[in-house]
């Protein structure tokens, strides 16, 4: 049977609203630090792309544009499912579990496609450190492109994996009746994290995949 009793307020807070505000602030501070992390990578990529524009544009053409576009669609759909899951819980509907399952499932499919793309790069000898081979006189600069590509997309995939685990945990807690229309903050915070990870990919896709296609 679901336990709908409110969680006790820790001693450092006066009201439940104060605790919720502090939790939200903590999540936003965390997301800002994550933004700084990815921002430094985007800045590095932009700097090297300005130094070696021709080879970076050519190297970008070796990425699978169709898979990247499909990944983008999957994450946008997952963000929609996540937003609907939070709303469903807030209005007391019972579709929350299904929407959370869809969110996590779309994330898993994204990771599967990204792993398939990594394998494709490996077989094409475009994975740095694994027999990298690139035609032309600027192979070293092309390898730098793929180093940044694997670091940026790999770090994003790691964050997405963490997000999938968190969404799965929220699904279990919803199923156990730990949340209610009045108490849903943990799910809301996980939703913020999930949307942040999706937004990062929305910037990664044009930066990496479309730089050589304008």
The percentage of the chain sitting over the pLDDT mark of 90, rounded to a whole number, equals 71
**Longest CA span, the chain:** 68
Contact 185, 20 (CB under 8 A): yes
Whether the predicted model's global pTM rises above the 0.85 cut: yes
Model confidence band, residue 135 (pLDDT cutoffs 50, 70, 90): confident
pLDDT for 102 equals 97
- How far out from the chain centre does Cα 197 lie? 3
Average pLDDT over all residues of the chain: 89
Model confidence band, residue 178 (pLDDT cutoffs 50, 70, 90): confident
Q: The tokens 């942040």 sit on which residue? A: 196
Q: Mind listing the pLDDT tens digit for each residue in 78-95?
A: 999 999 999 999 888 779
Residue 14 pLDDT > 50 = no
153 is written with which tokens? 């997309």
Q: Mind listing the pLDDT tens digit for each residue in 96-114?
A: 999 999 999 999 999 999 9
Better-scored residue on pLDDT, 1 or 198: 198
Contact 29, 193 (CB under 8 A): no
Residue 7 pLDDT > 80 = no
Domains of the chain: 21-209 (1.20.120.80)
């Amino acid at each position: 049977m679901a336990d709908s009793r409110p969680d006790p307020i820790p001693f450092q807070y006066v009201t439940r609203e104060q605790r919720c505000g502090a939790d939200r602030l903590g999540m936003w501070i965390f997301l800002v630090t994550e933004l700084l992390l990815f921002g430094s990578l985007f800045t590095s990529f932009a700097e090297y792309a300005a130094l070696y524009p021709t080879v970076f544009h050519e190297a970008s053409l070796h990425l699978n544009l169709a898979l990247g576009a499909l990944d983008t669609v999957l994450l946008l759909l997952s963000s929609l499912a996540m937003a609907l899951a939070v709303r469903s819980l807030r209005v007391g509907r019972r579709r929350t579990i299904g929407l959370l399952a869809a969110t996590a499932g779309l994330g898993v499919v994204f990771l599967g496609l990204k792993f398939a793309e990594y394998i494709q790069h490996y077989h094409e000898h475009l994975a740095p450190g694994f027999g990298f081979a690139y035609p032309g006189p600027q192979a070293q600069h092309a390898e730098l492109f793929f180093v940044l590509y694997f670091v940026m997309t790999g770090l994003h995939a790691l964050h997405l994996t963490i997000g999938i685990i968190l969404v799965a945990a929220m699904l279990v807690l919803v199923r156990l009746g730990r949340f209610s229309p009045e108490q849903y903050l943990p799910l809301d915070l996980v939703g913020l994290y999930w949307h942040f990870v999706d937004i990062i990919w929305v910037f990664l896709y044009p930066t990496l995949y479309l730089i050589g296609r304008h």
